[in-house]
Structure 1
Amino acid sequence: MFAKTAYAGDRQQQYEMLSKQLDALLTGEPNVMANLSNASALLNQFFDRINWVGFYMMDGNELVLGPFQGLPACIRIPVGRGVCGSTVTKKETIIVPDVHAFPGHIACDAASQSEIVVPLIKNGEVFGVLDIDSPEKNRFQKEDQQGLEHFVSILMKHI
């Protein structure tokens, strides 16, 4: 699954290594934009079979494109719309096995087939979301959700 990495072992161990790398990379850096940029680059290096990874940040009643790796993307997403906007409303991770079956899906990249979106929560409020797309259906599983939620918890210590 993680062909871009040199790590051996199961997914949980790989995600644990990824989170440790993130923590070491961000320690001592107070700039939010720099930390989000490095987090998206680290995830892009870590995953295979994805076509977009990045962040959308809250700005009033909408999400605005933040640091990412991939093709140009939608700039603004209203809260409650698409997978990212729904994640803000629910304040929980959403895994979409087939984006074409998700009501109101916003297609920024026609190649995307599946998606996982993890909320970034700070002081009980959604600060933004981590969005990862794949050109394969059913790309993301429960193990990915658990690993990415842990990754985000480490990230939020540096935000």
Structure 2
Amino acid sequence: MNTKLKSGRYQRIFGQIKKLIEATTSPWSRMSTIAALLHHKMPDYFWTGFYYLDENGDLVVGPYQGPVACLKLKKDTGVCWAGINEERSQVVPDVNKFPGHIACSSLSKSEIVVPFRDKSGKVVAVLDVDSRKLNAFDDTDREELEKIVTLIYE
């Protein structure tokens, strides 16, 4: 999908999410809605969901769409932990070339992880999206998903 079309699609999705989540301030409900909309509206999304830091400091699966996920990610390993530890988005064109990649599904070929903060400014979770295609994500995905996750604690 070209950049202009992709950006337009994300902007429409952003508007849909914003309208839908007005019904509640629950971050769990908002994450569920975001995962569902993105998963069903973006053609290259194979697994779409959230991993959050629990009270023990473990990174565990939250709301998602797609095949069964890893329930808990090995500490400081993989793309999701890189997003948490570096406090910045990770765009991975080929997951097999990412050191320590955690393969919850062998079908995943590329990945994007977007960390987000709670109202106090602390990174509390990541949006994680996998694709069956190599190089499925770029700066347009990163920029638009970074905007979308701000809605969770708005």
TM-score normalised per structure 2: 0.92
**Letter of the 1:153 counterpart:** T
Distance 2:97 2:153 in 1: 31
What is the SS of the residue equivalent to 2:144?
A: helix
Structure 1 match to 2:97 = 101
What is the SS of the residue equivalent to 2:134?
A: coil
**Letter of the 2:142 counterpart:** Q
Summarize the alignment of residues 8-157 of structure 1 with structure 2, pairs less than 5 Å apart: 10-59=5-54, 60-122=56-118, 123-157=120-154
Distance 1:83 1:45 in 2: 23
Q: Where does the alignment leave 5 or more consecutive residues of structure 1 unmatched?
A: 3-8
Deviation at 1:32, TM superposition (A): 2.5
Structure 2 match to 1:5 = none
Distance 1:32 1:137 in 2: 31
TM-score normalised per structure 1: 0.89
Distance 1:90 1:78 in 2: 16
Distance 2:16 2:75 in 1: 31
Maintained 8 Å contact 1:49/1:134? yes
Deviation at 1:78, TM superposition (A): 3.8
- Share of identical aligned residues, percent? 36
Distance 2:65 2:132 in 1: 15
**Letter of the 2:150 counterpart:** S
Maintained 8 Å contact 2:27/2:152? no
Extract structure 1 runs of 4+ deviating beyond 3 A. none
What do residues 78-133 of structure 1 show as CA deviations (whole Å, max 9, x unaligned)? 44210001110000000000000000000000000000000011222111100000
Q: Where does the alignment leave 5 or more consecutive residues of structure 2 unmatched?
A: none
Distance 2:95 2:39 in 1: 20
Distance 2:122 2:105 in 1: 28
CA RMSD, aligned part only? 1.5
